Protein backbone atom coordinates (compact mmCIF):
# COMPACT_ATOMS: atom_id res chain seq x y z
CA UNK A 1 0.00 0.00 0.00
CA UNK A 2 2.84 2.37 0.90
CA UNK A 3 4.62 1.48 -2.36
CA UNK A 4 1.51 2.28 -4.43
CA UNK A 5 1.08 5.62 -2.63
CA UNK A 6 4.72 6.49 -3.30
CA UNK A 7 4.40 5.73 -7.02
CA UNK A 8 1.18 7.75 -7.25
CA UNK A 9 2.87 10.68 -5.51
CA UNK A 10 5.79 10.61 -7.93
CA UNK A 11 3.44 10.59 -10.92
CA UNK A 12 1.48 13.58 -9.59
CA UNK A 13 4.72 15.46 -8.94
CA UNK A 14 5.92 14.76 -12.49
CA UNK A 15 2.66 16.00 -13.99
CA UNK A 16 2.87 19.19 -11.94
CA UNK A 17 6.43 19.86 -13.08
CA UNK A 18 5.49 19.38 -16.73
CA UNK A 19 2.40 21.58 -16.32
CA UNK A 20 4.47 24.38 -14.81
CA UNK A 21 7.16 24.12 -17.49
CA UNK A 22 5.80 22.78 -20.77
CA UNK A 23 9.12 23.50 -22.53
CA UNK A 24 10.87 20.86 -20.39
CA UNK A 25 9.34 18.20 -22.64
CA UNK A 26 10.73 19.70 -25.84
CA UNK A 27 13.79 18.08 -27.38
CA UNK A 28 15.36 20.41 -29.97
CA UNK A 29 17.69 17.66 -31.17
CA UNK A 30 14.90 15.22 -32.04
CA UNK A 31 12.40 15.16 -34.88
CA UNK A 32 9.55 16.15 -32.58
CA UNK A 33 7.96 19.53 -33.45
CA UNK A 34 8.69 22.37 -31.03
CA UNK A 35 6.26 25.08 -30.01
CA UNK A 36 8.26 27.98 -31.49
CA UNK A 37 10.90 28.03 -34.19
CA UNK A 38 14.12 30.10 -34.13
CA UNK A 39 12.26 33.17 -35.42
CA UNK A 40 9.63 32.99 -32.70
CA UNK A 41 6.92 31.75 -35.05
CA UNK A 42 4.48 29.11 -33.84
CA UNK A 43 5.42 25.77 -35.36
CA UNK A 44 2.36 23.78 -34.33
CA UNK A 45 1.89 21.80 -37.53
CA UNK A 46 -1.75 20.99 -36.89
CA UNK A 47 -2.67 24.70 -36.86
CA UNK A 48 -0.64 25.42 -39.99
CA UNK A 49 -2.22 22.47 -41.80
CA UNK A 50 -5.64 23.81 -40.86
CA UNK A 51 -4.81 27.10 -42.58
CA UNK A 52 -3.26 25.47 -45.65
CA UNK A 53 -6.26 23.20 -46.15
CA UNK A 54 -8.81 25.89 -45.37
CA UNK A 55 -11.17 26.56 -48.25
CA UNK A 56 -13.42 29.60 -47.92
CA UNK A 57 -17.11 28.80 -47.58
CA UNK A 58 -19.00 28.89 -50.84
CA UNK A 59 -21.42 31.78 -50.96
CA UNK A 60 -24.83 30.50 -51.94
CA UNK A 61 -26.46 33.09 -54.14
CA UNK A 62 -30.07 33.86 -53.28
CA UNK A 63 -32.91 33.35 -55.72
CA UNK A 64 -33.55 36.43 -57.82
CA UNK A 65 -37.16 36.58 -56.65
CA UNK A 66 -36.04 36.57 -53.01
CA UNK A 67 -33.95 39.74 -53.32
CA UNK A 68 -36.49 42.49 -52.74
CA UNK A 69 -33.94 45.27 -52.14
CA UNK A 70 -30.28 45.83 -52.98
CA UNK A 71 -27.76 48.65 -52.91
CA UNK A 72 -24.39 48.67 -54.67
CA UNK A 73 -21.70 50.97 -53.27
CA UNK A 74 -18.06 51.78 -53.89
CA UNK A 75 -15.88 52.13 -50.80
CA UNK A 76 -12.30 53.26 -50.25
CA UNK A 77 -10.03 51.26 -47.97
CA UNK A 78 -7.23 53.62 -46.91
CA UNK A 79 -4.05 51.81 -45.82
CA UNK A 80 -2.69 54.90 -44.06
CA UNK A 81 -5.28 54.30 -41.33
CA UNK A 82 -3.87 52.28 -38.45
CA UNK A 83 -6.66 49.71 -38.50
CA UNK A 84 -5.65 48.78 -42.07
CA UNK A 85 -1.89 48.46 -41.42
CA UNK A 86 -2.04 44.62 -41.54
CA UNK A 87 -2.97 44.89 -45.23
CA UNK A 88 -0.02 47.22 -46.02
CA UNK A 89 2.79 45.60 -44.04
CA UNK A 90 5.17 43.85 -44.42
CA UNK A 91 6.60 45.47 -47.55
CA UNK A 92 8.66 43.18 -49.80
CA UNK A 93 12.45 43.18 -49.44
CA UNK A 94 13.18 41.43 -52.75
CA UNK A 95 11.43 39.97 -55.78
CA UNK A 96 11.16 36.56 -54.08
CA UNK A 97 8.59 37.56 -51.50
CA UNK A 98 7.99 35.34 -48.47
CA UNK A 99 5.98 37.62 -46.16
CA UNK A 100 3.08 38.93 -48.19
CA UNK A 101 1.02 42.04 -47.82
CA UNK A 102 -2.28 42.22 -49.69
CA UNK A 103 -0.87 43.71 -52.89
CA UNK A 104 2.10 41.33 -53.22
CA UNK A 105 -0.27 38.43 -52.59
CA UNK A 106 -2.64 39.56 -55.35
CA UNK A 107 0.02 40.63 -57.83
CA UNK A 108 2.09 37.47 -57.32
CA UNK A 109 -0.89 35.30 -58.24
CA UNK A 110 -1.53 37.45 -61.32
CA UNK A 111 2.10 37.19 -62.43
CA UNK A 112 1.96 33.41 -62.02
CA UNK A 113 -1.27 33.33 -64.05
CA UNK A 114 -3.21 31.83 -61.14
CA UNK A 115 -5.52 34.84 -60.95
CA UNK A 116 -7.03 36.93 -63.74
CA UNK A 117 -7.11 40.70 -63.35
CA UNK A 118 -9.16 43.15 -65.37
CA UNK A 119 -7.99 46.56 -66.47
CA UNK A 120 -9.76 49.80 -65.71
CA UNK A 121 -8.38 53.11 -66.92
CA UNK A 122 -10.63 55.42 -64.88
CA UNK A 123 -8.77 57.24 -62.11
CA UNK A 124 -10.03 57.40 -58.54
CA UNK A 125 -9.94 61.20 -58.63
CA UNK A 126 -12.31 61.27 -61.59
CA UNK A 127 -15.42 59.10 -61.97
CA UNK A 128 -14.75 55.56 -60.75
CA UNK A 129 -17.05 52.92 -62.25
CA UNK A 130 -19.54 51.40 -59.85
CA UNK A 131 -19.48 48.16 -61.85
CA UNK A 132 -16.07 46.88 -63.07
CA UNK A 133 -15.96 45.22 -66.49
CA UNK A 134 -15.08 41.53 -66.29
CA UNK A 135 -14.80 40.29 -69.86
CA UNK A 136 -12.23 38.59 -72.06
CA UNK A 137 -11.71 41.89 -73.89
CA UNK A 138 -10.76 43.63 -70.64
CA UNK A 139 -8.20 41.17 -69.22
CA UNK A 140 -5.31 43.11 -67.76
CA UNK A 141 -1.76 42.86 -69.03
CA UNK A 142 0.13 42.78 -65.67
CA UNK A 143 2.98 44.79 -67.18
CA UNK A 144 0.97 47.65 -68.67
CA UNK A 145 1.55 50.03 -65.76
CA UNK A 146 5.21 49.00 -65.46
CA UNK A 147 5.89 50.44 -68.90
CA UNK A 148 4.81 53.89 -67.74
CA UNK A 149 8.00 54.41 -65.71
CA UNK A 150 11.52 53.95 -67.05
CA UNK A 151 12.95 52.85 -63.69
CA UNK A 152 10.49 49.92 -63.43
CA UNK A 153 12.41 46.81 -64.51
CA UNK A 154 10.99 43.36 -65.20
CA UNK A 155 11.66 40.22 -67.23
CA UNK A 156 9.17 38.04 -69.12
CA UNK A 157 9.99 34.36 -69.54
CA UNK A 158 9.41 33.62 -73.27
CA UNK A 159 8.61 29.97 -72.55
CA UNK A 160 5.71 30.38 -70.13
CA UNK A 161 5.00 34.12 -70.19
CA UNK A 162 5.57 34.52 -66.44
CA UNK A 163 7.12 37.74 -65.18
CA UNK A 164 9.98 38.38 -62.77
CA UNK A 165 10.18 41.87 -61.30
CA UNK A 166 13.28 43.63 -60.02
CA UNK A 167 13.29 44.08 -56.24
CA UNK A 168 13.26 47.91 -56.42
CA UNK A 169 10.23 47.82 -58.73
CA UNK A 170 8.39 45.32 -56.52
CA UNK A 171 9.02 47.40 -53.40
CA UNK A 172 8.01 50.66 -55.10
CA UNK A 173 4.74 49.16 -56.33
CA UNK A 174 3.86 47.62 -52.97
CA UNK A 175 4.72 50.82 -51.10
CA UNK A 176 2.71 52.93 -53.56
CA UNK A 177 -0.52 50.95 -53.20
CA UNK A 178 -1.96 52.92 -50.29
CA UNK A 179 -5.65 52.48 -51.09
CA UNK A 180 -8.10 49.91 -52.40
CA UNK A 181 -11.50 50.30 -54.00
CA UNK A 182 -14.10 47.84 -52.77
CA UNK A 183 -17.29 47.20 -54.70
CA UNK A 184 -19.93 46.01 -52.24
CA UNK A 185 -23.55 45.00 -52.49
CA UNK A 186 -26.05 45.08 -49.65
CA UNK A 187 -29.25 43.10 -50.22
CA UNK A 188 -32.29 41.88 -48.35
CA UNK A 189 -33.19 38.22 -48.77
CA UNK A 190 -36.85 37.65 -47.98
CA UNK A 191 -36.34 33.86 -47.71
CA UNK A 192 -34.11 34.40 -44.64
CA UNK A 193 -35.57 37.79 -43.65
CA UNK A 194 -32.04 39.14 -43.32
CA UNK A 195 -29.90 41.85 -44.84
CA UNK A 196 -26.54 40.70 -46.19
CA UNK A 197 -23.32 42.44 -47.21
CA UNK A 198 -20.90 41.04 -49.78
CA UNK A 199 -17.66 42.30 -51.37
CA UNK A 200 -17.90 41.81 -55.13
CA UNK A 201 -14.59 43.20 -56.42
CA UNK A 202 -11.39 44.84 -55.25
CA UNK A 203 -8.98 47.23 -56.96
CA UNK A 204 -5.55 48.42 -55.73
CA UNK A 205 -5.00 52.16 -56.16
CA UNK A 206 -1.38 53.18 -56.81
CA UNK A 207 -0.08 56.52 -55.57
CA UNK A 208 3.00 57.81 -57.39
CA UNK A 209 5.11 59.61 -54.78
CA UNK A 210 7.11 61.44 -57.49
CA UNK A 211 4.26 63.32 -59.15
CA UNK A 212 1.37 62.83 -56.68
CA UNK A 213 -0.89 61.07 -59.18
CA UNK A 214 -2.98 58.04 -58.32
CA UNK A 215 -4.57 55.47 -60.57
CA UNK A 216 -6.46 52.20 -60.43
CA UNK A 217 -4.17 49.30 -61.33
CA UNK A 218 -6.64 46.47 -61.97
CA UNK A 219 -9.87 44.90 -60.74
CA UNK A 220 -10.15 41.38 -59.35
CA UNK A 221 -13.42 39.53 -58.58
CA UNK A 222 -13.31 39.03 -54.82
CA UNK A 223 -14.65 35.46 -54.83
CA UNK A 224 -11.79 34.41 -57.14
CA UNK A 225 -9.31 36.03 -54.75
CA UNK A 226 -10.73 34.44 -51.59
CA UNK A 227 -9.19 31.05 -52.38
CA UNK A 228 -5.74 32.63 -51.98
CA UNK A 229 -6.71 34.93 -49.10
CA UNK A 230 -7.80 31.91 -47.05
CA UNK A 231 -4.34 30.32 -47.41
CA UNK A 232 -2.23 33.24 -46.16
CA UNK A 233 -1.84 34.24 -42.52
CA UNK A 234 -2.08 37.93 -41.71
CA UNK A 235 -0.33 39.59 -38.80
CA UNK A 236 -3.45 41.30 -37.55
CA UNK A 237 -2.08 42.37 -34.17
CA UNK A 238 1.30 43.60 -32.96
CA UNK A 239 0.29 42.83 -29.39
CA UNK A 240 -0.62 39.18 -29.92
CA UNK A 241 1.47 37.24 -32.46
CA UNK A 242 -0.27 33.98 -31.53
CA UNK A 243 -3.56 35.17 -33.02
CA UNK A 244 -4.01 33.02 -36.11
CA UNK A 245 -6.05 34.79 -38.77
CA UNK A 246 -6.09 34.62 -42.56
CA UNK A 247 -6.65 37.49 -44.95
CA UNK A 248 -10.07 36.00 -45.68
CA UNK A 249 -10.91 36.05 -41.96
CA UNK A 250 -9.78 39.69 -41.79
CA UNK A 251 -12.29 40.71 -44.46
CA UNK A 252 -15.07 38.36 -43.37
CA UNK A 253 -14.92 39.72 -39.81
CA UNK A 254 -14.85 43.36 -41.02
CA UNK A 255 -11.56 44.04 -39.26
CA UNK A 256 -10.77 46.79 -41.78
CA UNK A 257 -11.88 50.41 -41.92
CA UNK A 258 -13.33 52.02 -45.06
CA UNK A 259 -15.46 54.95 -46.15
CA UNK A 260 -18.15 55.43 -48.76
CA UNK A 261 -16.99 56.91 -52.06
CA UNK A 262 -19.94 56.36 -54.37
CA UNK A 263 -23.35 54.69 -54.41
CA UNK A 264 -25.25 53.44 -57.41
CA UNK A 265 -27.38 56.50 -58.15
CA UNK A 266 -29.27 57.64 -61.24
CA UNK A 267 -26.78 60.49 -61.76
CA UNK A 268 -23.77 58.10 -61.76
CA UNK A 269 -21.69 60.53 -59.73
CA UNK A 270 -19.36 60.37 -56.76
CA UNK A 271 -20.03 62.22 -53.52
CA UNK A 272 -17.08 64.55 -54.11
CA UNK A 273 -18.42 65.55 -57.51
CA UNK A 274 -21.52 67.31 -56.15
CA UNK A 275 -20.60 68.22 -52.57
CA UNK A 276 -18.44 71.23 -51.85
CA UNK A 277 -16.62 70.61 -48.59
CA UNK A 278 -15.49 67.75 -46.38
CA UNK A 279 -18.26 68.21 -43.82
CA UNK A 280 -20.96 67.88 -46.47
CA UNK A 281 -19.31 64.71 -47.80
CA UNK A 282 -19.22 63.20 -44.30
CA UNK A 283 -22.89 64.02 -43.70
CA UNK A 284 -23.90 62.42 -47.00
CA UNK A 285 -21.77 59.35 -46.22
CA UNK A 286 -23.50 59.00 -42.86
CA UNK A 287 -26.93 59.43 -44.45
CA UNK A 288 -26.34 56.68 -47.04
CA UNK A 289 -24.76 54.37 -44.45
CA UNK A 290 -27.76 54.86 -42.14
CA UNK A 291 -30.16 54.27 -45.02
CA UNK A 292 -28.51 50.90 -45.69
CA UNK A 293 -28.24 49.80 -42.06
CA UNK A 294 -31.74 50.92 -41.15
CA UNK A 295 -33.46 49.30 -44.14
CA UNK A 296 -34.24 46.07 -42.29
CA UNK A 297 -35.64 47.92 -39.29
CA UNK A 298 -37.75 50.22 -41.49
CA UNK A 299 -39.07 47.21 -43.38
CA UNK A 300 -40.83 45.83 -40.32
CA UNK A 301 -42.28 49.14 -39.10
CA UNK A 302 -46.03 49.47 -39.41
Mention every residue, 6+ apart, whose C-beta is less than 8 A from residue 22.
35
- Residue 24: inside a domain: no
Q: How many domains does the chain have?
A: 1
- Residue 289: inside a domain: yes
pLDDT of residue 72: 85
- Residue 90: inside a domain: yes
Report which of 156, 197, 158, 164 is spatially closest to residue 73, judged by C-alpha positions: 197
Can you tell me the distance from the alpha carbon of 10 to that of 16, in angstroms, rounded to the nearest whole number?
A: 10
Contact 181, 205 (CB under 8 A): yes
- Residue 14: inside a domain: no
Reported as a single tens digit per residue, the pLDDT across 261-294 is 887 654 455 555 555 566 666 666 677 677 766 6
Pairing state of beta strands 220-221 and 259-263? Answer: unpaired
State the residue range of the domain holding 128.
67-299
pTM: 0.74
Higher pLDDT, 289 or 95: 289
Lowest mean pLDDT among 37-46, 141-150, 190-199: 37-46
Amino acid sequence: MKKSSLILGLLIASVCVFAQNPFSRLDYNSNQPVLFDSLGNISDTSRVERIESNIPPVTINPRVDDVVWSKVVLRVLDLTEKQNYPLYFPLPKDSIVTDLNLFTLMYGKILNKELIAYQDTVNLGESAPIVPHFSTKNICDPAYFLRSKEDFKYYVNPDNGKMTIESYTYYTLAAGVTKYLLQEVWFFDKSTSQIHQKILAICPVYFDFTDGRQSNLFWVPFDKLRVFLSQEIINASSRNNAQLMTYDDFFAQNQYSSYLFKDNNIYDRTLQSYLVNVEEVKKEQSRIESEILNFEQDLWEY
